[in-house]
Structure 1
Amino acid sequence: MTNAAGRGDSRTLTSPFMPLSPRIDRFYTFSRTRADKSHVTPRPANLEDAFLGRYANRPLWERRARAMAFALEHEPVYLFPEEELVGILYQGASPPRGYTTAAEFAHFDAGQQARARIAQLDDTYGVSGGAPAHIGWRWDRVLRDGIDGIMADVRRRLAASRDVKAKRLYRGALVLWRAVLRWNARHVEALRTAAGKATGVEKERLKRLIAICARVPRLPARSFHEAVQSFHMQHLAVMFENPHGGNSPGRVDALLWPYLERDLADGFISRQAAKDLIDELFIRFEERLWKRDGWVEAIVPGGTNPDGSCAVNQLSHLMVHSIAALNQTHPVVYPRLSRQTPESFVDLCVNYLVHGQNRAQLYNDDVCIPAIVKAGTPMSDAADYMAGGCMEVSVQGKACDLNFARTHNVAKTLELVLNGGCDLRTGDRRTALRRTLADFPAFEEFYTAFEAQLDYEYRQMVRGIDIQSECFAKYRPTFLLSSLIDDCLDRGRDQQDAGARYHEYGFAPLGITAAADSLNALKRAVFDESFITAGDLLAALRADFEGCEALRLRLCGLPKYGVEDRHADAMCDRVMHSVCAIATRQTTRFSGQLKPMVFNFVWTPGASAVLGARADGSRAGDMIGHGMTPQRSAMVKGITAAMNSCATLDLSVVSGGATTMWDMDAEWITFERMKAVLTTFFAGGGMIFQGNTTSVAELEDALQRPQDYPHLIVRVGGYSARFTSLDSALQKEIVARHRHRAV
């Protein structure tokens, strides 16, 4: 990675990626200029005015539908020079100056309603709601049937139904889809007005766009250009209704490829023209989400078909080329690989890892798909998995939008069990546990207590998310989204009200490897080798090892997960299995699972800061590892040893995905070495691969002179961000990570 890529506004890299065309280079420049401006959206004011005023006398479901439709219809229409796609929303735009949310509007907020209900429970420990999003939907229906076709289907269902709830869903969907058509029609009108004033080449361009936008998304797409435009407008509309980070397009290459394949065969479009459309589409993602790096809308090219064949196509390649040549963080492009993936696509993805500005994240279908199937999903659905944002695995268009809802600090749970329910840092009682480590005569009895506490906390977690789901269904019906989620229309139910095929709640169990290393250490120190008593170990932990440095160093020297020690690796596998087994046996309100998704996102510093000293020799606040990556303190025998330890894990129990973070020494890593590392990792059963290749020296320079590095992108955890935009704790955590090189 050169300093130019970090400091300047370079869009292209001296690498094996297809360069941007002159038009796209200009469009990128103008887009960045537009994005830097302050944008105002009438959305909140229009929603509130329509909900509290214009439609205040309607039933709640209808108020929501009509208010959302009113707001969408009145969103601004933008036309840009040289564009070949039309339409944009500014997701991070501000409300009008002086606007404040009316107090009465809060009474209809699903989050506030859930919090009020939770507060009335007899036991609120570990109970909270959940954040929506992190799913994809069946937008291929818009391409195949057009909005007219979807509405015709909904009308037939409405006419045939006698179910009150179903009729509400169908009527709400019709209201919202009509609004999408009206908003699209305003774009066509603006294009016609502009065309009336244009001449020559510009007039021809506008006439071409008029023909496309007058047809799609209202009617089925016939060409690749129409398909991309139809996808783009429906994505804006569904995101307007569901403006939550992590909602993602998913398998864009698989769903758009039939249109491009036909156009290429007919000579209707060139490969370069197709890439230009993808480039422009991606630039529009970035403009819409500018400076919201953590929003994360994911595209997963490549992968496997339901029959087991390889799904990689030419569009898969173009999408990786496109994002790799653009200096931006949206959309995130996370390829899916398998044993059947063509070498050319593997090589492209390796170059993406090495030269892609720390934005690549790769999935191993040979591990991911069996894990999804093992959890009870048929292969026909499992092969259609996608990333909902950072890495959250779900089947596209079939999950409710609590697919990721919560985090859970596994290492903190262990701390509370070890210390009798009290916080090691403060001494405050956190939960009703009374026995400390000193009260357990055998390790297995202690481990059973740890599992029992996990079970209690996960039951409490589901209890809270169930309440959130009920409140979402009542106060936040999702008519557009539900009409594109299987099996909402068939069941006549919103995706949060038993409509979605998979009503699963995803959560991130943090600190699994930290808990495992601590358990392995205390097992050896207290129960196996007895070189310290449980009481003395507790005293040392409570003192954060003050006055106990010799003990701390001895604990630090015990084998950890990541050094190819069979006992340490087995303990990590055991803890992971306990977390996953206990979680997945919990049942959501519509018979789904609590689904573990092992990743860290931005939570590493925060989750670490609340921890006291640990039995593996870590002091209070020392950083936990990322996902299933060995902790930094265990990275002492090199990347081969660390990956061999990873290979001992049975990841078939992690249906929501398990990430690892592999930061490489910038001077050591090459294409050949990265390919060897990646293929070894996947061959050993690794699931998700990510990491940084930027030098520590460059990061440290950026800390000192941030003004010189506005476009330096780093891998945080499941997503990438501009380094200088991150808070200090995250910056320090990224700089301090272990960098792998030859040992």
Structure 2
Amino acid sequence: MKLSERMERLFSYAKSTWKDPPPCPFNRDFQYAAVNLFSDKEVWERAALSFAYALRRAPVIITDDDRIIGRAYQVRFAEPDCYDPELKDYSLQSPGFESGEAVYKGYTDLAELHLVTEPARGHITWDWTKILRLGTEGLKAQYENALHSAKDLEAEHFYRGVLIALEALEDWNDQHVAYLRKMGKQELADLCQHVPRHPARGFKEAIQSFFMQYLAVFYENPFGGNGPGQFDKYLWPYLKKDLENGSCTLEEAEELVEELFIRLDERVSANDLWNEMIITGGTHRDGSSAVSPLSKIMVDAIMKLNITHPTVYMRVPKDADEEYVKLCAKYLKYGNNRAQIYYDPNVIRALTETDGVRPEDATEYGVGGCLEIGIQGMNDDLLQCAWVNMPLMLELAITGGYSLSERKQVDSAGIPLPGLAQHNTFESFYKNYLDFTDRLVGISFSMIERQSIHDEKYRPAYLISSMIDDCLERGRHMHAGGARYHDYSMTPLGIPNVIDGLYAIRTAVFDQHICTAEELVSAMRADFKGYERLQRQLRAIPKYGQENDDADDFARTVVTDIAKMFVTRRNRFGGIFRPMVLTFIYAPLAAAQLGATADGNNMHTMVAQGLTPQSRSMSCGITAAMNSCTKMPFYYFSGGASTMWDLDPHWASEKLIADLLMTFFHNGAQVFQGNTTDVKELIEAQKHPEDYEHLIVRVGGFSARFVGLTPGLQTDIINRRRHNR
């Protein structure tokens, strides 16, 4: 698959910015305005006017080959030389409400071990189709009408803030129109004169309207993990109409999609951790399949381009047609390890049964970045806030609060940790572990709540909130209770490690009396040096992932108990605390904090990927591992539960992958991802990185260039089990 000459030139231009992108002036201009121009205004107005000032000053960059207009670079932010004391973090990715010991007061030891973590922002999809359908003028009209009947002063401020933001977007777009006319590109200027100000009339206008608001949204919310979400589902009606009336061909549509993807990558290409997701396929509100010819165009486009942005995920609807399933398998095998596949029936079940999402809304789910599930255009943006090291909690419960890796007693902030030897029954120990874990989950939850309260005042996000239901009706921005679903989520890391460790304790100490609690703790402190026989015995105990009924039943209990710690909590707006299970870049970080484990792992063994069994535990083949995995209660994980299935490329044919994928889904799982690159190639890439800059791998919820990863992540990917039977 070759690019056209024009696309080759555009791609070459984009590549020239990868290693040295120009600095982004937005934050500097925003803070200048907040401090020097609008310091006498109230917070709500200062935020709106400063955003508008900075957006109007954003660069206008157009090349002769552009068919999609607008360009921004947001990897290198120009540092402000002054800060508004209240709005200093409005447009920055740094923590917003407090920092350092003030956040972790009383929890310093736990924070250093990633048992209490500070919230992150971003990870949201928004309903940009509002601008495609209404235009900014139509959207402004809605807010102007609402302003005349605002229910209170807060609603009035919100409506005025939205109008200020939309007018700034129009002005910035007009600057592009004027530039195009100077270039003599009258046809493109006419197109950009019409959109996004007015409703899009066809596919080309829809793409342009999307892209201009997309750039503005990312100036306002510059966080990795925000993403456009469902793309073909919303854009196909425009293309279908154009194909029928002859105003656009499939070839032209393919090239526009390729250009769009190159431009999305160009904005943040230097940062693989900046993960923006585009979804193909899925389900319409009436339950019918949303797969279209545009779905294939988008998957083919990302397979043609060796880029890491956007991340293209595929949603598989119920009763998916055979060709779409084949496309999923092809993408998994030949897509440079960038595929992640979702199964709609199981995700929608989790959203409706556990989260209480309306069924018609659940079909609109999107993914902002790595994994985190949210309802497109209906959620706030605290959906991937933190991670917590679950196996380390188990270690501290076993040792009585002693960190084996740090070799010190940890201040557990008043949470009782008597240690395994002080418990006469497994049930007593297990309850203590759950109580400890629940307390720490609660602390993180309260910190996210504090972040939300801060953002209500200091981060109104007027532009993106104008494209979130039900902000208009409620007269509130998305952080102030305007979003229909105000949910939080956090990642409980290493659940499979916890399962195997707890099962080993129950079996070895309490059921079979292989060792005493004191002997187990001593062996773990010694990293099993001098306890090799006990280590072999612990490793021989059945594991989650070997299709052992008792171990799998136990695993289901543990997973259920952990999930309930999240889903039973409610935040200040009644939203749920979603457990979202993925591993991302955290495996080496978590492993570095771990000592030897009760199931026989040595110190610093990598934690498992999502709900995938540990690599060493998947000793009975991929079928057994998947069968164990699909016994888990995935319906609790409305935030998403990832799995990682790295496959030997010489063994895994497209047909085999398709069969594995659909069997896995039909048995209850939500998400499938994995690598298909030969391990030998990865090892060579470690030795000779200069020869493998093209190599992309699946890390865990995102894909990245292998040679740009830390040595720990590289080793983790190399050492994962490669299934070949």
| Gap change, CA 1:107 and 1:192, over 3 Å in 2 | closer
Query: What is the match of residue 294 of structure 1?
Result: 273
Query: What is the match of residue 178 of structure 1?
Result: 167
2:55–2:169 contact (8 Å) kept in structure 1: yes
Q: Secondary structure at the match of 1:659?
A: coil
Q: Deviations over 1:363-401 (max 9, x none)?
A: 011211111111211111111111110011111011111
Q: 2:391 matched to 1:402?
A: no
Between the aligned partners of 1:351 and 1:574, the Cα distance in structure 2 is 36
Identify the range of structure 1 (668-677 vs 116-125) with the bigger mean alpha-carbon deviation.
116-125
Query: What is the match of residue 308 of structure 1?
Result: 287
Give the C-alpha shift of residue 666 in structure 1: 2.3
Between the aligned partners of 2:19 and 2:439, the Cα distance in structure 1 is 48
One-letter code aligned to 1:640: T
Work out which of the residue numbers 557, 560, 585 in structure 2 matches 1:602. 585
2:501–2:598 contact (8 Å) kept in structure 1: yes
Work out which of the residue numbers 53, 75, 78 in structure 1 matches 2:61. 78
Query: What is the match of residue 113 of structure 1?
Result: 97
One-letter code aligned to 1:419: T
2:32–2:83 contact (8 Å) kept in structure 1: no
2:283–2:344 contact (8 Å) kept in structure 1: yes
Query: What is the match of residue 544 of structure 1?
Result: 527
Structure 1 segments unaligned to the other structure (5+ residues): 1-11, 13-18, 196-205
One-letter code aligned to 1:92: V
One-letter code aligned to 1:507: M
One-letter code aligned to 1:660: T
Q: Deviations over 1:661-717 (max 9, x none)?
A: 111112222212222221222222221011111111111111111111111101100
- State how 1:115-514 maps to structure 2 within 5 Å: 115=99, 119=103, 128-195=117-184, 206-375=185-354, 376-425=356-405, 426-431=407-412, 432-514=415-497
- State how 1:525-564 maps to structure 2 within 5 Å: 525-564=508-547
Between the aligned partners of 1:366 and 1:598, the Cα distance in structure 2 is 18
Between the aligned partners of 2:327 and 2:677, the Cα distance in structure 1 is 19
Give the C-alpha shift of residue 294 in structure 1: 1.1
Between the aligned partners of 1:120 and 1:652, the Cα distance in structure 2 is 33
Give the C-alpha shift of residue 647 in structure 1: 2.0
One-letter code aligned to 1:277: L
Q: Deviations over 1:544-578 (max 9, x none)?
A: 21211111111111111111111221222222111
1:108–1:475 contact (8 Å) kept in structure 2: no
2:31–2:80 contact (8 Å) kept in structure 1: no
Q: Secondary structure at the match of 1:660?
A: coil
Q: Deviations over 1:492-545 (max 9, x none)?
A: 112111111111111111010000000111100011101111111111112221
Q: Secondary structure at the match of 1:114?
A: coil
Between the aligned partners of 1:530 and 1:76, the Cα distance in structure 2 is 70
| Gap change, CA 1:299 and 1:570, over 3 Å in 2 | same
Q: Secondary structure at the match of 2:229?
A: coil
Between the aligned partners of 2:525 and 2:310, the Cα distance in structure 1 is 45
1:422–1:430 contact (8 Å) kept in structure 2: no
Between the aligned partners of 1:561 and 1:101, the Cα distance in structure 2 is 54
Q: Secondary structure at the match of 1:336?
A: strand
Q: Deviations over 1:277-300 (max 9, x none)?
A: 111000001111112111111011
Give the C-alpha shift of residue 88 in structure 1: 1.1
Query: What is the match of residue 203 of structure 1?
Result: none
Give the C-alpha shift of residue 341 in structure 1: 1.3
Between the aligned partners of 2:526 and 2:513, the Cα distance in structure 1 is 20
Superposed CA RMSD in Å reads: 1.7
One-letter code aligned to 1:654: F
One-letter code aligned to 2:290: A
Give the C-alpha shift of residue 105 in structure 1: 4.4
Q: 2:35 matched to 1:56?
A: no
Give the C-alpha shift of residue 116 in structure 1: 7.5
Give the C-alpha shift of residue 112 in structure 1: 5.0
Between the aligned partners of 2:493 and 2:19, the Cα distance in structure 1 is 35
Q: Secondary structure at the match of 1:661?
A: coil
2:35–2:82 contact (8 Å) kept in structure 1: no
1:300–1:335 contact (8 Å) kept in structure 2: yes
Query: What is the match of residue 15 of structure 1?
Result: none
Structure 2 segments unaligned to the other structure (5+ residues): none
One-letter code aligned to 2:306: N
- State how 1:24-63 maps to structure 2 within 5 Å: 24-63=7-46
TM-score, with normalisation over the residues of structure 2? 0.96
2:96–2:451 contact (8 Å) kept in structure 1: no
- State how 1:603-642 maps to structure 2 within 5 Å: 603-642=586-625
2:581–2:611 contact (8 Å) kept in structure 1: yes
Q: Secondary structure at the match of 2:468?
A: coil
One-letter code aligned to 1:688: V
1:304–1:311 contact (8 Å) kept in structure 2: yes
2:117–2:388 contact (8 Å) kept in structure 1: no
Identity of aligned residues (%): 41
Give the C-alpha shift of residue 427 in structure 1: 2.9
| Gap change, CA 1:107 and 1:421, over 3 Å in 2 | farther
Query: What is the match of residue 663 of structure 2?
Result: 680
One-letter code aligned to 1:584: V
1:712–1:722 contact (8 Å) kept in structure 2: yes
Q: Deviations over 1:191-227 (max 9, x none)?
A: 00000xxxxxxxxxx2221111000000000011000
1:84–1:209 contact (8 Å) kept in structure 2: yes
Identify the range of structure 1 (19-28 vs 579-588) with the bigger mean alpha-carbon deviation.
19-28
2:169–2:216 contact (8 Å) kept in structure 1: yes
